[in-house]
Amino acid sequence: MRIYTRAGDDGTTGLYFGGRVRKDDPAIELNGAVDEAQAVIGLARSAMSRGGELDTLLVAIERDLWVLMAEVATSSDNRRKLVAGKSLVTEDMVTRLEHEIDALADRTDLPKDFVVPGEDAAAATLDVARTVVRRAERLTVSIPVAGSFVATYLNRLSDLLWAAARFKEGDVHRSAKSVEVDR
The DSSP line for 59-82 is HHHHHHHHHHHHHHTB-GGGGGG-
H or E element that contains 22: strand 20-22
**Residue percentage of the chain with pLDDT more than 90:** 83
171: confidence class by pLDDT, cuts 50, 70, 90: low
Query: Each residue of 9-50: pLDDT tens digit?
Result: 999 999 999 999 999 999 999 999 999 999 999 999 999 999
Query: Each residue of 97-127: pLDDT tens digit?
Result: 999 999 999 999 887 777 888 889 999 999 9
For residue 48, CA distances in Å to 25, 42, 165 come to 35, 10, 12
pLDDT at residue number 29: 97
The alpha carbon dihedral of 82, 149, 94, 36 has a sign of positive
Of 101, 113, 108, give the one whose Cα is nearest residue 169.
Answer: 108
pLDDT exceeds cutoff 60 at 176:
no
Rounded to whole angstroms, the Cα distance separating 109 from 111 reads 6
Query: Each residue of 120-156: pLDDT tens digit?
Result: 999 999 999 999 999 999 999 999 888 999 999 999 9
pLDDT at residue number 174: 46
The full set of domains in the chain, from first to last, is: 10-108+119-172 (1.20.1200.10)
pLDDT at residue number 109: 85
DSSP at 15: P
80: confidence class by pLDDT, cuts 50, 70, 90: very high
CB atoms near residue 81 (< 10 Å): 13
Which amino acid would we find at residue 34?
A: V
pLDDT at residue number 178: 45
φ/ψ of 182, rounded to 5, equals: -70, -20
pLDDT exceeds cutoff 60 at 78:
yes
Is residue 141 within 8 A of residue 79, CB to CB? The reply is no
pLDDT exceeds cutoff 60 at 177:
no
